[in-house]
Chains A and B, each alone.
Chain A
Amino acid sequence: MPVFALNPGYEGERMDRVENFGGNQLVYIGWDEHRMFCAAKAFPLAPSMPFAAVMENIIPEAFSQHPEFSQINWDTAEWLLNNEPFKPQMNASLESQGVEHKALIRFKTPELKGYAGAGV
């Protein structure tokens, strides 16, 4: 049953429909095993934004406070899109490569073990 309600057929109002974000969609981005950032971060991004712009503007804004950020080797970074392996296409838009509303993008940096090698 989708809900236990007094009236049969009750439907809730979906609070986070993409239409509510003024032309943007939500995208979450997280850096695996780097706990300096307590959680993945949320961003309202244009669906037409090319991935290169995410790399250039969004990811540094989100993660450059980390002492290892400048050492990231993006060639060996491993990506997950909604927990499935993913290869970002730099010149393609978010929507054209399956990064839909409320998608979760995670990246792993296998050479970097976090501050003090402790996953921080």
Chain B
Amino acid sequence: MAAKKLNIKDKYRLLTRDLDWDFSYEDRKKAFPYEEFEGIKITDWDKWEDPFRLTMDSYWKYQAEKEKKLYAIFDAFSQNDGHLNVSDPRYVNALKLFLTGVSPLEYQAYQGFAQVGRQFGGVGARVACQMQSLDELRHVQTQIHAMSHYNKFFDGLQEFSHQHDRVWYLSVPRSFFTDARSAGPFEFMVAIGFSFEYVLTNLLFVPFMSGAAHNGDMATVTFGFSAQSDEARHMTLGLEVIKFMLEQHEDNLPIVQKWIDKWFWRGTRLLTIVSMMMDYMLPNKVMSWKEAWEVYFEEAGGALFKDLARYGITMPKYSEVIEKEKEHISHQAWWTFYTHGHATGFHTWIPSDEELDWLSEKYPDTFDKYYRPLWELAKEKEAKGERFYTTGLPQLCQTCQIPMLFTEMDNPNQNSMRDTVYKGERYHFCSDGCCDIFEEEPEKYVQSWLPVHQIFQGNCGGPEMGDILSEFYKMNVGADNMDMKGSPDEERWNKWKGKA
């Protein structure tokens, strides 16, 4: 008699939960050495509810089909010179920032989920994390492929991986992930699985993928659609892990709350880059950063935290500061990149008059008062042939590693600066949020690899800035950096389009 085919439920049980075994002669604690040091108490891993409900064979089959379609579209995009259909060559600079700053995070997420997929004591959680790990590895690969076509025609995409590990502004996303990956497995899941993938991911992907659609970038849009079903699973996992910890033991609540406070703050600081992409780098705008924040955090996130209130979870600390900062951060960030445009791996520019008016309309309480004058000054300087590139190197925050560009919300003309002394050395922060994170674990953050300080220590080549940019960062100085106006990117585009 032929063997009966397993039904889905049995197959799922056998291929996931039943892969586990008991430790009869070895010490279970030695097999899972990271499980207890964070203070999280798990009484029964069997209560874990699998969010993925996928077996490996169906995972491969499903993903292979998806990717076959995705690569067919990439091929068509490439054969039809798809890059010529983008709205404006300025758009490609958002892709450069995405490829250098965000795609390598997918790789770090792959590494992080592989680690927790080994270290959790419960087999259900392990399998779910291993699956997400594979998703993340696929995402970095497909993103690289999606953008590789642009690399043939535009500057600044050629050394994304090398640059992610070195360039001053890329230390911000990089250190965000190394912070999470060097934490224990439960904190990693709150950091990446919950705060990043669940609470904040929509603020990264929805605007970015819609931005691609609005600006004629079909390769990136297609990637976005392809990743969507994976992202839905990741969000389910992120929420499951929070609920699981809170249901397992009441002592877990203060620890989980502390991590939510920390990673919400770290995440919003990281998203400063996205705010600037939305408000300044997309030639065809989708919505303002402020609007995106209101829809995806204040409304959607607000509902989530209402739901979590039954476990005793409260809104993340400093939410009220962030609510005010939504009016400011995109402008402050783009000004920072514009004034450091000689040291960025993408082009920067003064917004057009039309764009300045759009910003006034979207930010009626802040733009004309605080930020339009910056651009008036920049225009005045540019007209005199003195395009403004600031001298020297900025002070950085010890925790988020962003230049100390944020301002006080009760006096937006003044930079916000905090400091603390630990073991006789002074440390500086952009905010109370970043200062609190340091003070909770100073031995971790004294190790921050701050690009400005590393340059002064002589660890990045130089000492001339041009040598640091070309040799240590591997930027093509004069092509990758500087203003969009007069760039080789612009010149090529005008030639393709038959413009003078």
Contacts and interface: CB of A to CB of B under 8 A. Distances in A.
Interface string A62-100: 100101000000000000001100000000000000001
B457 A21 contact: yes
Given A4-B38, A39-B403, A82-B426, A15 B373 contact: no
A67 to B, nearest CB: 8
Contacts of B454: 15
A79 to B, nearest CB: 15
Contacts of A41: 391-395
A61 to B, nearest CB: 6
Contacts of A44: 456
A118 B38 contact: no
A84 B339 CA distance: 29
A18 to B, nearest CB: 8
- Interface of A, secondary structure class, is loop
A39 B395 contact: yes
A38 B405 contact: yes
B391 A38 contact: no
Given A39-B405, A115-B377, A118-B373, A33 B395 contact: no
A6 B34 contact: yes
A116 B394 contact: no
Nearest to B426: A102
Interface string B378-413: 000000000010111111100000011101000111
B308 interface: no
A30 B416 CA distance: 11
B45 interface: no
A39 B336 contact: yes
Contact of A39 (B394, B412, B447): B394
B263 interface: no
Interface residues of A, number: 51
B376 to A, nearest CB: 7
Interface residues of B, number: 59
Nearest to B392: A41
Given A82-B419, A116-B376, A118-B373, A38 B336 contact: yes
A115 to B, nearest CB: 5
Interface stretch (B144-152, B236-244, B317-325, B438-446): B438-446
A119 B38 contact: no
Interface string B94-107: 00000000000000
B216 to A, nearest CB: 32
Given A39-B336, A39-B404, A40-B415, A4 B441 contact: yes
B340 to A, nearest CB: 8
Interface string B44-74: 0000000000000000000000000000000
Contacts of A102: 425-428
Contact of B390 (A14, A32, A65, A82): A65
Contact of B449 (A15, A100, A120): A15
A36 interface: yes
B465 interface: no
A3 B392 contact: no
A15 B419 contact: no
B442 A2 contact: yes
B37 A6 contact: yes
A42 B374 contact: no
A104 B420 CA distance: 12
Contacts of B404: 39-40
Contact of A38 (B187, B339, B419, B446): B339
Contacts of B390: 37-38, 65
12 contacts: A5-B37, A6-B33, A6-B34, A6-B184, A14-B447, A30-B417, A36-B377, A42-B393, A104-B426, A115-B377, A120-B374, A120-B377
Given A38-B332, A42-B394, 7 more contacts: A12-B444, A30-B395, A35-B335, A36-B377, A41-B395, A42-B393, A103-B426
* Top-9 shortest CB links A-B: A119-B413, A3-B443, A118-B373, A38-B336, A39-B394, A39-B404, A12-B447, A41-B392, A12-B443
